[in-house]
């Protein structure tokens, strides 16, 4: 098992993420904060349908990530289930939901359509299935959220930038946490991970007291088109 200063590498689209073991701790705590904004509470069972190189997966639990002392599950005092996002695995998720009580299921945006179709098939069967809170993990290139009667929630996840920002259920804005990200006009800078600053249309400063929260930070509305490096 790696020591505290071991280098850990994750290949993601557009970048290779590099961390020391101690670096992971702050990001696991930050991701737990994101889930708190989305309404997850202590003791919950969280499942993530994503690939293993995504921060949503490798920050999930100390049981799955060597060198990580406290993952999201440990911060929330709950359980974490890591589900692969390959098509054949996504088709198995509805069966899992008939056997395991899951409070929240985080799903990559690009497999959400497939999962929806499989859930619809399962719903026509006789096996009882308790639907979890669905959280769609969006990248910067994914279409912004639209109105949906299913009460979907959204988490921005751009691994190459280590950008993780929850869409607040109250104000429908993506919140960028103070101390992790800074904003200069429309340019976002990551304060905890070294990467090039980048632009996302609609970014604005979040001040203490926004939408009833005492957290200072930032927010942006997901815009059309790709992000741009200045």
Over residues 23-40, the pLDDT tens digits come to: 999 999 999 999 999 999
Checking if the pLDDT of 226 tops 50, the result is no
Kindly state the percentage of the chain with pLDDT values over 90: 60
Q: Is 177 part of a structural domain of the chain?
A: no
Query: Does residue 96 sit within a domain?
Result: yes
In a domain, 222, yes or no: no
pLDDT at 43 over 70: yes
Domain span including residue 127: 7-161
Whether residue 51 contacts residue 84, with contact meaning beta carbons closer than 8 Å, is answered with yes
| Spatial separation of the C-alpha atoms in residues 108 and 11, rounded to whole Å | 17
Beta strands in 68-115 (DSSP E): 79-83, 104-108
97 pLDDT exceeds 90? yes
- CATH number of the domain enclosing 22: 3.40.50.2300
Q: How far is the C-alpha of 198 from the C-alpha of 187, rounded, in Å?
A: 5
Residue 123 counted as domain residue: yes
Q: What are 150-172's pLDDT values in tens digits?
A: 789 999 999 999 999 998 888 88
What size, in residues, is the chain? 230
223 vs 194, higher pLDDT = 194
The mean pLDDT value of the chain amounts to 86
β partners of residue 189: 182
Residues in CB range of 114: below 8 A, 6 or more apart: 87, 90, 91
Give the dihedral of Cα atoms 107, 33, 72, 3; nearest 10 deg.
Answer: 120
Q: How many domains does the chain have?
A: 1
Parallel/antiparallel/unpaired status of strands 187-190 and 198-199: antiparallel
CB 60 within 8 A of CB 191: no
pTM of the model: 0.88
Give the confidence band of 203 by pLDDT, cuts at 50, 70, 90: low
Identify whether 225 is part of a domain.
no
**Whether 25 contacts 70, CB under 8 Å:** yes
Q: Which residue has the tokens 């009833």?
A: 212
Residue 181, domain member (yes or no) = no
pLDDT tens sequence across 45-73: 999 999 999 999 999 999 999 889 999 99
Q: What is the DSSP letter of 228?
A: B
Is 188 inside any structural domain?
Answer: no
Identify whether 91 is part of a domain.
yes
- Taking the C-alpha atoms of residue 188 and residue 200, their distance in angstroms, rounded to an integer, is 8
């Amino acid at each position: 098992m790696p020591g505290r200063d071991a280098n850990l590498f994750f290949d993601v689209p557009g970048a290779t993420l590099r961390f020391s073991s101690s670096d992971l701790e702050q990001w696991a705590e930050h991701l737990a904060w994101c889930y708190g904004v989305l309404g997850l509470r202590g003791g919950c069972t969280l499942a993530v349908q994503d690939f293993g190189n995504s921060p949503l997966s490798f920050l999930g639990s100390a049981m799955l990530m060597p060198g990580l002392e406290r993952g999201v599950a440990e911060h929330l005092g709950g359980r974490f289930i890591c589900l692969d996002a390959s098509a054949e695995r996504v088709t198995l998720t509805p069966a899992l939901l008939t056997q395991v009580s899951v409070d929240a299921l985080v799903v990559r945006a690009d497999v959400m359509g497939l999962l929806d179709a499989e859930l619809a098939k399962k719903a026509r069967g006789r096996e009882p299935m308790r639907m979890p809170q669905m959280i769609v993990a969006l990248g910067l290139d994914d279409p912004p959220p639209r109105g949906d009667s299913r009460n979907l929630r959204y988490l921005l996840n751009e691994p190459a930038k280590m950008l993780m920002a929850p869409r607040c259920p109250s104000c429908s804005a993506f919140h960028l946490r103070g101390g992790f990200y800074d904003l200069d006009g429309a340019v976002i800078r990551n304060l905890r991970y070294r990467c090039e600053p980048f632009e996302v249309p609609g970014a604005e400063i979040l001040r203490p007291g926004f939408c009833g929260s005492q957290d200072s930070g930032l927010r942006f509305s997901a815009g059309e088109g790709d992000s741009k490096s200045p």
